[in-house]
Amino acid sequence: MKAVYALYSNGDAAQRAVNSLRSAGYDDHDITVISGAPMEEYEFSHIGRHSYQWYIACAGGLAGLLFSTWLTTFAEKDWPIVVGNMPIVAWWPNLIVIFEMTMLGAIVTSVATLIITAGLGRKMPKLYDPEVTNGKILVGIAQPKDAAGADVERALLSAPGAQVKSV
Amino acid sequence: MSASDDRLATTLLRPLERGGLKWFLFVGFLAAVVGCGLFAWAFQMWQGFGLTGKRWPVFWGFLITNFVFWIGISHAGTLISAILRLVNAGWRRPVTRCAEVITAFALMIGGLFPIIHLGKPWLFFWLVPYPSSRLIWPNFRSPLVWDFFAISTYLTGSLLFLFLPMIPDFALVRDRATGVRKTIYGALALGWRGTTHQWHRLETAMSIMAIAIIPVAVSVHTIVSFDFSMAPVPMWHSSIFGPYFVAGAIFSGIAGLIIAMATLRRVLKLHDYLEDIHFENLGKLLLTMALLWGYFTFNERLTAWYGNHTAEYNTFQATQNGVYSPLFWTMVLVNFVIPVVILSIRRFRTITGCVIASIGVVIGMWLERFLIVVPSLAYKFMPYSWGTYAPRPTEIVITVATFAAMTLLYTLFAKFVPIISIWEMRAGEHAPIEEMAPAPEHRLGETHA
């Protein structure tokens, strides 16, 4: 058995299922909740909220800043021609390029972080049901121990309207 | 499945499934116009710039006008969408994607014009900073290089800003499609499932990008304005040009968005999603920008007139009373008088009223770009160097083709991607209490509809 899950029609039932799984001894880390839209009014939606995306984006911006500072300075010194009576390394115009590349660094890094940390572009895990895109909410446990499978089913069935499935 | 979820998905996915004869005829017509534009461009490359109306001293004509105009139109989407996302305006949900698509396509079209204007587009890579065999680097002190960095950053950011919120909708289509469509949408969905973990990552990434993209959007049109204001040319060399260009860009962008939304509403029958309130709110925004545009134009004109610098005054006179005056006063009429009259009277601030005002603004803003580019070059400091400009068929065909290209790209996009974000609409239905609660005694409460 790879996973046990149940589908619910509304957030209240999904919340009860999550609470039952917690009571049965499962950590938030083990519980998977899948929905067709974010459901921030429910407590279960806060599972997996913590991330370092902001810090990583800032680091990306900093990398863009440093790289563009080096690029503009190096290129101007490498081909030192006086243009428009400006100094060889002209900070005013360089700031424009530096600003753009700082922002580009932050943007690209935040997207890369999303792809990596959200597991996008990888083979889709078994724990999924297309009914989610029809508005159902999936609550389940991936790879429960064989002996615990029955406990999981019992916990999932404790919420009303559950359709328990396993894959 | 709740009834509303089903209705949402069914209605918003319907355009992806239908494709009748009319659709193919329309797309075919647009493709033919775009083809004519490409042919005109190729002919221009073959024959040289003598084919265009560009003559000494006016070397910037329709092509640069179109460049500035389309970059301006691009401000409709990402900027407005990012601001609305950051302030968490509930009414943004059906609007954001319609707007973001405009940005992506308008930037692609606008970004082409400097390349078309090069005359030898195959040398475009000279702008790219790389160590060539002769170790020549691009001149970072040139506004043309700033354009390259600004536009490529904005285009990259806008495409990603458009693509990220499409991933959950691609997953939805994947789960409902069969055969090749399932494979294609499956690939585009990148294995999206919709775990709480993924939703958090997506929303955080969108927040970061919204914050990053706003200054980038402002910088792009400021940098486009630098193409002009860095040069000691009458009525160009002005510190007001940055904000003037940004305000004008947002102005024309909102107008473009209103026209696009009204067309989508009618053609795709999205009356339940693109409602009167969306047009009224955007109409108010358009009214604000019309007033701001009027304020900037007055500032720009008064300074030139009062300063009484000979060269500036000549350019000023050419637009106010001279050969360009019909274009100038048309611009004032359609950019200021008509929108202010229509949009400030609540009874006229209907969908039809907003569309009429918007069409006027799009025309007026194109004229404004033309009036910035051409008269200043035609009336420079020395009277012996004065000249004139008249567009030739090549430039006119290329210009018309860009409008067809925009319509074509938008039509194709709406055919293959839900033009309204389904998951965001669903999220609106599940919105937290504090977001949904209206302020009953306050008209601004409408924004939380």
SS3 track for chain B: CCHHHHHHHHHHHHHHHCCCHHHHHHHHHHHHHHHHHHHHHHHHHHHCHHHCCCECCECCCHHHHHHHHHHHHHHHHHHHHHHHHHCCCHHHCCCHHHHHHHHHHHHHHHHHHHHHHHCCHHHHHHHCCCCCCCCCCCCCCCHHHHHHHHHHHHHHHHHHHHHHHHHHHHHHHHHHCCHHHHHHHHHHHCCCCCEHHHHHHHHHHHHHHHHHHHHHHHHHHHHHHHHHHCCCCCCCCCCCHHHHHHHHHHHHHHHHHHHHHHHHHHHCCCCCCCCHHHHHHHHHHHHHHHHHHHHHHHHHHHHHHHHCCHHHHHHHHHHHCCCCHHHHHHHHHHHHHHHHHHHHCHHHCCHHHHHHHHHHHHHHHHHHHHHHHHHHHHCCCCHHHCCCCCCCHHHHHHHHHHHHHHHHHHHHHHHHCCCCCHHHHHHHHCCCHHHHCCCCCCHHHHHHC
**Å between B403 CA and nearest CA of chain A:** 28
What pLDDT was estimated at residue B439? Answer: 43
pLDDT per residue of chain A (167 residues) written in tens, 0 to 9? 678 899 998 889 999 999 999 998 888 888 999 999 998 889 988 887 888 999 999 999 999 999 999 999 999 998 888 888 899 999 999 999 999 999 999 999 999 999 999 999 888 888 899 989 888 999 998 877 666 667 888 888 888 888 888 88
Q: Which residues contact B26 (CB under 8 A, 6 or more apart)?
A: B411
pLDDT mean for each 10 residues of chain B (449 residues):
65 78 93 97 93 90 94 85 85 89 94 91 83 79 91 94 94 91 93 93 94 94 94 92 94 94 92 91 95 96 93 93 96 97 93 97 97 94 90 96 96 93 82 45 43
Q: Which domain holds residue A42?
A: 3-50+126-166
Cβ–Cβ of B140/A75 closer than 8 Å?
yes
- What is this structure's pTM? 0.90
**Å between A160 CA and nearest CA of chain B:** 15
Contact in structure between B205 and A113 (CB atoms under 8 Å): yes
Long-range contacts of B170-174 (CB under 8 A, 24+ apart): B170/B417, B171/A133, B172/A36, B172/A133, B172/B9, B172/B13, B172/B418, B172/B422, B172/B423, B173/B13, B173/B16, B173/B418
Residues A162 and A137 in one domain: yes
Q: Which amino acid is at A137?
A: I
Per-domain residue ranges of chain B: 3-427
Pairing of the two strands A31-34 and A3-8: unpaired
Cβ–Cβ of B191/A83 closer than 8 Å?
no
Report the candidate in B410, B16, B417, B411 with the shortest Cα–Cα distance to residue B188: B417
Give contacts of A125 with chain B, Cβ < 8 Å: 193
Residues A73 and A46 in one domain: no
From the CA atom positions of chain A, what is the Rg in Å? 25
What pLDDT was estimated at residue B445? Answer: 41
Number of Cβ pairs < 8 A linking chain A and chain B: 194
ipTM: 0.93
Interface of B with A in 366-395 (CB under 8 A): none
Interface of A with B in 137-166 (CB under 8 A): none
Q: Which residues contact B204 (CB under 8 A, 6 or more apart)?
A: A51, A53, A54, A110, A114
Q: Confirm or reject contact between A75 and chain B (CB < 8 A).
A: yes
Residues A24 and A63 in one domain: no
- The number of beta carbons lying within 10 Å of the beta carbon of residue B185 is 21
Give contacts of A121 with chain B, Cβ < 8 Å: 190-191
Give contacts of B146 with chain A, Cβ < 8 Å: 93, 96-97, 100
Report the candidate in B144, B153, B154, B285 with the shortest Cα–Cα distance to residue B224: B144
Residues A44 and A80 in one domain: no
What pLDDT was estimated at residue B288? Answer: 96
Cβ–Cβ of B197/A118 closer than 8 Å?
yes
Residues A66 and A112 in one domain: yes
Q: Which amino acid is at B388?
A: T
How would you label B286-297 residue by residue, b for 16+ Cβ within 10 Å and e otherwise?
Answer: bbebbbbbbebb
- The number of beta carbons lying within 10 Å of the beta carbon of residue B22 is 9
Give the CATH superfamily of B3-427: Formate dehydrogenase/DMSO reductase domain (1.20.1630.10)
Residues A41 and A57 in one domain: no
Contact in structure between B118 and B65 (CB atoms under 8 Å): no
Residues A107 and A63 in one domain: yes
Domain boundary among the residues A92, A117, A142 is at A117
**Å between B413 CA and nearest CA of chain A:** 21
The tally of domains found in chain A comes to: 2
Q: What angle do the packed helices B3-17 and B167-176 form, to 10 degrees? A: 90
What pLDDT was estimated at residue A138? Answer: 94
Report the candidate in B419, B408, B414, B401 with the shortest Cα–Cα distance to residue B28: B408
Contact in structure between B95 and B81 (CB atoms under 8 Å): yes
Q: Which of B1, B164, B200 sits opposite A136 (nearest CB)?
A: B1
